[in-house]
């Protein structure tokens, strides 16, 4: 048992009295403290940062190494060799060769990209000299906030962060591109290089492998058709019999093929037909097979360079590099690949008649998550290749020139073409269009702007997982909650509607692995009894005594004692000999041991259980609380380990100590960690109907509150703040862990659950006016006005002018109304209220901005026209801040921060934390509201009809808990699967002389009498949602019209009309209200008087018919302008609409 004892070799119970050993396992108090310890090490967005760090420090070097040589076809002497690459610290190039280090907030304010130069060391030939140069920039890499290269990564304390104007609770993990915060969403996809046996539409079985290497991506299928097996690949025009492929790979004899696939009777019989197929096609030798395949190769497009290859060579190349690209082939030794192919065939055969071996695509172990690092690495490799090929092209051109006027300096060229990489990365991140040429991959919507509505919305975005599935497809499989997602993906947090179930959120403790070097793992495998596949013939693979060993989808060997392999690997992992993120598990159905060390696997930590005892003891937790141990120490000492989805499903995991049985291998750290960040806010979520939790997850992101300690320094396009946010009285562990307490979004409102006034139907809520007077629900909306002062090609530039003055009677000057807000510099003065249509920035632009080549204009004074930035929208707005800076194009940038304070009004939306939203139905004077024996008046009244159908018992419990918490002067917990028990809460209430059910006697505020019903009355945490009436209200009597149709414009933003649509029109027709219809559709819309000639039926003009050249039968009628437009458009396509007029009154 030596290996299974984790960490210290002397068991801790060795010197214990046997009697103490017999005691039942005590539950470890406070083992939840491991969760904050985990989060302290990992952070909430550690996946992003880890993956980016891996790219920037490791992967980028591999990429450059793999593409390190650039040569020229023209000059054999010429070469450029990249010796090393590194990404330095983020900085700003200010022009005039001034470069200074920067911090993220500066980039946000100045609309700059937060990026760092990529430096390379190169060795190259200039003329006949070999030159070595260090630190040559080849482009700029956007830097992820809080990554190893970020300025914030060195900050340890809040004060240090405050110096950079950064919020300590900001998770980082996003990029700043041109001042915009961009998140690269986690992309979920099927894992690469793994065999998946599936049933296709026709019921046939296929074994599919999507191979992916740095160079190639391809998909290979082995299918069965008419009892024969075929290889399907999209470089081949038709399916090739699998026997031929084996022969082409050099496994020419039928016996060898069968030995590799399997010598069991059942397998041999089903494979026989495939062997016959080869004979039928007259393919016996390798050359014949290669020729056969060569003729089936899909013709590549013409521009493919290089000498034409023979079909045999082409087929051999194809087999070596493209088909099953991830299986290594060295010097055309197809051994590994043929074994792999044989196994694919075997899997298909095995799956026949045994549907249990068919794999499940939606199983989460078959999924990999792609993170910012790997996505950028794909993009960077593509850009770097293009950069090199451009360099080569340039070298070819210059070196090919006869006479060689000047030497070709590669470094000079490299420095001048930095923009290719810089722009490539910048554009991809800012648009979200990921185009990778070498994989012919094009993906949209990879990035999103970080939602800064509230702290939770930003955090929620960082844990979001986007699925590659099409949203339009109505399949339920990938959308439904998979049991294997347990603990990895939040079961509640998914949007409703089209992307339901496709967009997911990570759970609290989920970690996503980054790649681990496979070499030492292979070595370890061979050292613990795995026999190298290359040393075996085919026969042993299907031996009943033997298990195949896979590493990252490739077969590395076989083993007789798979248990030992697994045991040794786990022991090594627990003793941190190999990385903790290497997973190993046995698949008994496949008779395989799978080892994974690839990136993108989901995993989460578990407490190790040995001999029915959890490894983490009370003592460890004590050390943790005293700060003597950190989470990593738990890993090093083998008390806790990471399990990925596959290994998790191979383990027996107990939830609590008392559930541990003989075969238990692990124990959960805390059950509430199966929820994500957003669902973590909900108190008592385990008592709610599940969709309610889902609704709250969506709504928590719309709640206003605080977005960060640096919120007052930000100049965002839109920012909502609560004036007096509260900490929730009933909090949860996740609330503490994610610092929601410090950046809260909501109020503890006294809520009376009763009916009042009838303005509370359909979830509407009644609000106490006095509470509003005292600041309840008061919020501040920040907006910005922005413009840049540009310079133009003809030496002119924009200018900002002071206010326009009018002269008053007394000879005094006073700015015109529009400019009343302006200071003498033409910018709105700080602190002034600005009314709609008043000017914020009085900018003027030259009328001519193009460079003219005639010197006609040269001497003339430059003329300007007004292009002011005006305050639009309802209500006055205050100027809070004016910022002057310059943007990356070195134009002056003016940003004005505007502020509006709003108090709740009828129609504003509020919601509790249980998916119970409602709009304000009525605002009531305090004296009209009911009050309790203690003189408490409610802040809000909620209709009790909200409860029976919603079944949000958690809200009832929250009310009780808050009430008790307020009376005790403490906070209660509503943590999922735990929290303060209702029984305790009731005792607290009774202790303070309140009814144990939380129901109080209330007196009517209007009649003064006691209400006959007892009212459920207490504080509930209410969120104010961003939907406010002020931003939505809209009406119009007259207003702008569209230019083309002369109909009223559409939409609130354009002060548009309210459309009388088809169905409304139908109603009017049904009522026979034809005059009303005429008024709505024409008179109030686009009535137009036209002259019609009754003899030719065409439209005339000012009483004259141009066609008839007379005014004899021209009469004037009124038609919709759109109708007139239609006639003219028809005429323009040679269709003549003619109008025939008759007397209306006959």
Partner 1 sequence: METGRLTMEEFQLVNKTDGLTISSKKKNVKESKAAEASIANCKVEIIRMDPFEMEIDFIGFNISLVNAYRRIILAEVPTMAIEKVYMYNNTSIVQDEVLAHRLGLVPLKVDPRYFEFRNKEETEWGAQDSVKYSLNVRCSKNPKAAADETNPDILYLNRKVMSSSLKWIPLGNQTDIFQEANMQPLHQDILLAKMNSGHEINLEAFAVKGIGSDHAKFQPGLAWYRLLPEIELTREVEGEQADLLQKCFSPGVIDVVTTPGGRRLAKVNDTRNDACSRNVFQYDSIKDSVKLTRKTDHVIFFVESHSALKSYEILEEAVNIMIGKCSLLLAETDKLIESSAPS
Q: What single DSSP character describes residue 667?
A: E
Query: Shortest approach of partner 1 to residue 935 CB, angstroms?
Result: 4
In the set 328, 400, 691, 1013, which binds partner 1 (CB under 8 A)? 1013
Binding residue for partner 1 (CB under 8 A) from 464, 590, 769, 909? 769
Distances (CA, A) of 1047 to 531, 635, 1073, 1074, 1099: 80, 70, 22, 20, 20
Closer of 722 and 764 to partner 1 (Cβ): 722
Q: How far apart are CA 873 and CA 589, in angstroms?
A: 66
Count of residues engaged in binding partner 1, rule: CB under 8 A: 40
For residue 1006, the minimal CB distance to partner 1 (Å) is: 8
Which one of 899, 945, 1036, 1041 is in contact with partner 1 (CB under 8 A)? 899
Is the Cβ of residue 1010 or residue 1073 nearer to partner 1 in the bound state?
Answer: 1010
- Contacts with partner 1 in 393-452 (CB under 8 A)? none
Cα 675 to Cα 460: distance, rounded to the nearest angstrom: 12
Q: Are 1056 and 1086 in contact (CB under 8 A)?
A: no
- Per CB under 8 A, which region of 309-317, 763-771, 815-823, 1036-1044 contacts partner 1? 763-771
SS (HEC) of 485-537: HCCCECCCCCCCHHHCCCEEEEECCCEECCCCCCHHHHHHHHHCCEEEHHHCC
Distances (CA, A) of 61 to 84, 217, 369: 7, 21, 22
The two beta strands, 592-596 and 547-551, are: parallel
CB of 851 to partner 1, least distance (A): 46
Tokens coding 820: 């009343």
- Whose Cβ is closer to partner 1: residue 880's or residue 1055's? 880
Residue 157 interacting with partner 1 (CB under 8 A): no
Query: For partner 1, which stretch binds (CB under 8 A), given 2-10, 223-231, 766-774, 801-809?
Result: 766-774
Structure tokens, 179: 């001042």
Per CB under 8 A, the list member of 483, 497, 831, 1051 interacting with partner 1 is 831
Residues 981-1000 that bind partner 1 (CB under 8 A): 989-990, 993-996
**Is 720 a residue that touches partner 1 (CB under 8 A)?**
no
Q: How far is the CB of 684 from partner 1 (least distance, A)?
A: 22
> Which residue's CB is nearer to partner 1, number 449 or number 780?
780
* In the complex, least distance from residue 902 CB atom to partner 1, rounded to whole angstroms: 10
Binding mask 911-930 for partner 1 (x = CB under 8 A): --------------xxx---
Q: Which of 309, 393, 401, 774 binds partner 1 (CB under 8 A)?
A: 774
Q: Please pick, from the candidates 15, 154, 265, 1009, the single residue that binds partner 1 as defined by CB under 8 A.
A: 1009
Q: Is 723 in the site for partner 1 (CB under 8 A)?
A: yes
Q: Which of 1010, 1058, 1075, 1136 binds partner 1 (CB under 8 A)?
A: 1010
Q: How far is the CB of 904 from partner 1 (least distance, A)?
A: 14
| Closer of 25 and 1001 to partner 1 (Cβ) | 1001
Pick the binder of partner 1 from 630, 1011, 1030, 1087 (CB under 8 A): 1011
Measured from the CB atom, the residue of 227 and 874 that comes closer to partner 1 is: 874
Q: Does 511 bind partner 1 (CB under 8 A)?
A: no
1012 interacts with partner 1 by CB under 8 A: yes
| Contact region with partner 1 (CB under 8 A), list: 272-280, 394-402, 462-470, 772-780 | 772-780
What is the sign, positive or negative, of the torsion defined by CA atoms of 589, 593, 597, 598? negative
Write the interaction track for partner 1 spanning residues 775-804; mark x where CB under 8 A is met and - where it is not: x--x-x------------------------
Backbone angles phi, psi at 781, to 5 degrees: -110, 125
Tell me how far, at minimum, the Cβ of 774 lies from partner 1, in Å.
Answer: 6
Question: Measured between alpha carbons, how far is 484 from 604 in angstroms, rounded to an integer?
Answer: 13
Distance (Å, whole) CA 937 – CA 1005: 9
Contacts of 677 by beta carbon, 8 Å cutoff, 6+ apart: 44, 456, 459, 460, 463, 490, 493, 505, 508, 734, 738
- Residue number, 115 or 706, with CB nearest to partner 1: 706
DSSP per-residue letters across 43-72: -TTHHHHHHHHHIIIIIHHHHHHHT-EEE-
Distances (CA, A) of 350 to 277, 328, 341: 20, 25, 14
Binders in 1061-1100 for partner 1, by CB under 8 A = none
DSSP assignment of 708-765, as one string? Answer: -TTGGG---SEEEEESS----SEE-HHHHHTTTTTS---EEEEEEES--TTTT-TT-E
Contact string 310-329 vs partner 1 (x = CB under 8 A):
--------------------
Kindly tell me which of 455 and 776 has the beta carbon lying closer to partner 1: 776
Q: Considering only CA atoms, which of 461, 485, 534, 488 is closest in space to residue 185?
A: 461
Closer residue to partner 1 in complex, CB, 364/937 = 937
Q: Tokens in use for 234?
A: 């999209």
878: tokens are 């205050």
Distances in Å between the Cα of 210 and the Cα atoms of 214, 382, 405, 480 are: 13, 20, 50, 24
At 354, phi and psi to the nearest 5? -135, 85
Q: Which residue has the tokens 């000299």?
A: 129
Residue showing tokens 């179930």: 501
Choose one: 230-238, 454-462, 517-525, 1003-1011; the region binding partner 1 (CB under 8 A).
1003-1011
Name the β-bridge partners of 950. none
Spacing of C-alpha 555 from chain mean position: 34
Task: Report the b/e string of 149-167 with b at 16+ CB within 10 A.
Answer: bbbbbebeeeeebeebbbb
Question: Alpha-carbon distance 470 to 444, whole Å?
Answer: 12
Nearer of residues 554 and 926 to partner 1, judged by Cβ: 926
The least CB distance from residue 828 to partner 1, in Å, is: 15
The nearest distance, CB 843 to partner 1, in angstroms, is 26
Indicate the residue among 76 and 993 with the shorter CB distance to partner 1: 993
Select the residue interacting with partner 1 from 712, 1054, 1106, 1138 (CB under 8 A): 712
Interface with partner 1 in residues 856-895 (CB under 8 A):
878, 880
Within residues 181-220, the interface with partner 1 by CB under 8 A covers: none
Decide if residue 823 touches partner 1 (CB under 8 A).
no
Binders of partner 1 among residues 78 to 117 (CB under 8 A) are none
Decide whether 282 or 1007 has the Cβ nearer to partner 1. 1007
Reduce the DSSP state of residue 411 to 3 states and report it.
helix
Q: How far is the CB of 928 from partner 1 (least distance, A)?
A: 8
Contacts of 963 (CB under 8 A, 6+ apart): 989, 994, 998, 1017, 1018, 1019
Three-state SS for 544?
coil
Known catalytic residues are: 763
Shortest distance (Å) from residue 996 CB to partner 1: 5
Maximum Cα interatomic distance, the chain, rounded to a whole number of Å: 123
Residue with tokens 């070195």: 890
Contact call for residue 931 and partner 1 (CB under 8 A): yes
Q: Given the rule CB under 8 A, which residues bind partner 1?
A: 712, 723, 769-771, 773-775, 778, 780, 831, 878, 880, 899, 901, 925-927, 931-935, 989-990, 993-996, 1001, 1003, 1005, 1007-1014
């Amino acid at each position: 048992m030596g290996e299974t004892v984790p960490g210290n070799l002397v068991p801790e119970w060795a010197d214990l009295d046997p009697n103490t050993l017999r005691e039942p396992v005590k539950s470890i108090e406070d083992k939840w403290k491991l969760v904050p310890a985990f989060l302290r090490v990992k952070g909430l967005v550690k996946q992003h940062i880890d993956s980016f760090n891996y790219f920037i420090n490791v992967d980028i070097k591999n990429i450059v190494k793999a593409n390190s040589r650039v040569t020229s076809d023209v000059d054999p002497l010429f070469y450029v060799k990249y010796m090393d690459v590194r990404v330095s610290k983020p900085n700003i190039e200010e022009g005039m060769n001034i470069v200074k280090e920067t911090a993220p907030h500066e980039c946000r304010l100045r609309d700059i990209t937060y990026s760092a130069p990529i430096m390379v060391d190169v060795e190259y030939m200039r003329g006949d000299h070999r030159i070595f140069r260090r630190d040559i920039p080849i482009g700029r890499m956007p830097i992820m906030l809080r990554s190893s290269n970020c300025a914030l990564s060195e900050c340890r304390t809040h004060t240090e962060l405050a110096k950079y104007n950064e919020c300590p609770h900001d998770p980082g993990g996003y990029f700043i591109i041109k001042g915009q915060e961009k998140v690269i969403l986690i992309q979920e996809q099927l894992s690469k290089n793994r065999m998946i046996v599936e049933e296709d539409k026709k019921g046939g079985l296929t074994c599919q492998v999507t191979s992916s290497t740095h160079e190639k991506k391809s998909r290979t299928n082995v299918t069965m058709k008419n009892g024969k097996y075929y290889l399907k690949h999209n470089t081949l025009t038709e399916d090739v019999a699998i026997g031929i492929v084996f022969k082409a790979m050099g496994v020419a004899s039928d016996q060898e093929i069968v030995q590799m696939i399997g010598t069991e009777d059942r397998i041999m019989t089903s494979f026989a037909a495939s062997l016959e197929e080869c004979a039928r096609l007259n393919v016996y030798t390798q050359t014949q097979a290669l020729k056969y395949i060569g003729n089936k190769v899909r013709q590549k497009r013409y521009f493919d360079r290089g000498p034409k290859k023979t079909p045999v060579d082409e087929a051999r190349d194809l087999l070596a590099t493209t088909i099953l690209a991830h299986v290594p082939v060295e010097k055309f030794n197809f051994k590994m690949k043929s074994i792999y192919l044989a196994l694919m065939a075997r899997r298909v055969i095995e799956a026949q008649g045994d549907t249990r071996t068919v794999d499940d695509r939606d199983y989460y172990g078959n999924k990999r998550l792609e993170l910012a690092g790997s996505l950028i690495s794909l993009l960077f490799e593509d850009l770097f290749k293009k950069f090199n090929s451009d360099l080569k092209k340039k070298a070819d051109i210059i070196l090919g020139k006869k006479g060689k006027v000047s030497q070709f300096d590669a470094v000079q060229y490299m420095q001048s073409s930095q923009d290719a990489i810089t722009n490539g990365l910048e554009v991809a991140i800012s648009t979200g269009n990921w185009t990778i040429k070498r994989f012919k991959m094009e993906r949209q919507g990879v990035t999103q702007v970080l939602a800064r509505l509230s702290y939770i919305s930003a955090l929620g975005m960082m844990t979001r997982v986007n699925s590659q599935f099409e949203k339009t497809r109505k399949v339920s499989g990938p959308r439904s909650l998979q049991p294997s997602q347990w603990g990895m993906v939040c079961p509640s947090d998914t949007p409703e509607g089209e992307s339901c179930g496709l967009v997911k959120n990570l759970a609290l403790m989920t970690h996503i692995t980054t790649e681990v070097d496979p070499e030492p793992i292979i070595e370890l495998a061979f050292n613990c009894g795995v026999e190298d596949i290359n040393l075996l013939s085919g026969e042993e693979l299907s031996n009943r005594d033997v298990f195949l060993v896979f590493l990252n989808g490739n077969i590395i060997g076989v083993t007789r004692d798979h248990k030992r392999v697994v045991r040794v690997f786990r022991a090594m992992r627990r003793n941190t000999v190999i990385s903790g993120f290497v997973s190993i598990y046995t698949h008994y159905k496949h008779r395989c041991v799978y080892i994974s060390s690839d990136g993108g696997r989901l995993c989460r930590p578990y407490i190790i259980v040995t001999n029915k005892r959890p490894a983490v003891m009370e003592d460890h937790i004590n050390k943790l609380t005293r700060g003597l141990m950190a989470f990593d120490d738990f890993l090093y000492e083998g008390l806790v380990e990471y399990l990925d989805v596959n290994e998790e499903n191979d383990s027996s995991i107990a939830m609590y100590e008392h559930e541990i049985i003989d075969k238990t291998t692990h124990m959960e750290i805390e059950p509430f960690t199966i929820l994500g960040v957003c669902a973590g806010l909900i108190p008592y979520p385990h008592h709610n109907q599940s969709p309610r939790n889902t609704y709250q997850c969506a709504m928590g992101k719309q709640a206003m509150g605080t977005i960060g300690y640096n919120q007052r320094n930000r100049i965002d396009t839109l920012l909502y703040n609560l004036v007096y946010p509260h900490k929730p009285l009933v909090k949860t562990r996740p609330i503490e862990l994610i610092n929601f307490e410090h950046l809260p979004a909501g109020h503890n409102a006294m809520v009376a659950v009763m009916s009042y006034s009838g303005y509370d139907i359909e979830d509407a809520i009644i609000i106490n006016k006095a509470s509003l007077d005292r600041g309840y629900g008061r919020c501040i909306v920040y907006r910005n006005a922005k413009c840049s002062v540009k310079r133009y090609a003809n030496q002119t530039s924009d200018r900002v002018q002071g206010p326009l003055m009018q002269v008053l009677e007394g000879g005094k000057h006073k700015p015109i109304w529009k400019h009343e807000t302006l200071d003498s510099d033409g910018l709105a003065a700080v602190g002034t209220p600005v009314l709609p249509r008043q000017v914020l920035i009085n900018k003027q632009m030259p009328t001519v901005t193009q460079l003219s080549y005639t010197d006609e204009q040269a001497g003339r004074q430059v003329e300007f026209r007004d292009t002011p930035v005006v305050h639009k929208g309802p209500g006055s707005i205050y100027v809070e801040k004016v910022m002057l800076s310059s943007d990356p194009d070195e134009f002056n940038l003016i940003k004005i921060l505007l502020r509006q304070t709003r108090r709740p009004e009828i129609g504003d939306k509020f919601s509790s934390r249980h998916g119970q939203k409602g709009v304000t139905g009525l605002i009531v004077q305090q004296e009209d509201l009911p009050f309790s024996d203690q003189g408490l008046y409610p802040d809000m009244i909620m209709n009790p009809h909200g409860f029976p159908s919603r079944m949000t018992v958690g809200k009832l419990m929250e009310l009780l808990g808050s009430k008790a918490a307020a009376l005790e002067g403490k906070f209660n917990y509503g943590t999922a699967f735990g929290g303060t028990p209702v029984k305790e809460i009731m005792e607290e209430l009774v202790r303070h002389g309140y009814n144990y059910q939380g129901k109080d006697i209330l007196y009517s505020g209007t009649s003064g009498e006691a209400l006959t019903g007892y009212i459920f009355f207490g504080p509930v945490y209410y969120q104010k949602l961003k939907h406010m009436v002020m931003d939505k209200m809209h009406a119009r009597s007259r207003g702008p019209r569209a230019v083309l149709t002369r109909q009223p414009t559409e939409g609130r933003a354009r002060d548009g009309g309210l459309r009388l649509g088809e169905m409304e029109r139908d109603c009017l027709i049904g009522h026979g209200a034809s005059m009303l219809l005429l008024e709505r559709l024409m008179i109030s819309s686009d009535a137009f008087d036209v002259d019609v000639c009754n003899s030719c039926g065409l439209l005339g003009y000012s009483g004259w018919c141009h066609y008839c050249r007379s005014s004899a039968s021209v009469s004037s009628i009124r038609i919709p302008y759109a109708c007139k437009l239609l006639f003219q458009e028809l005429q323009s396509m040679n269709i003549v609409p003619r109008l025939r007029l008759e007397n209306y009154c006959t």
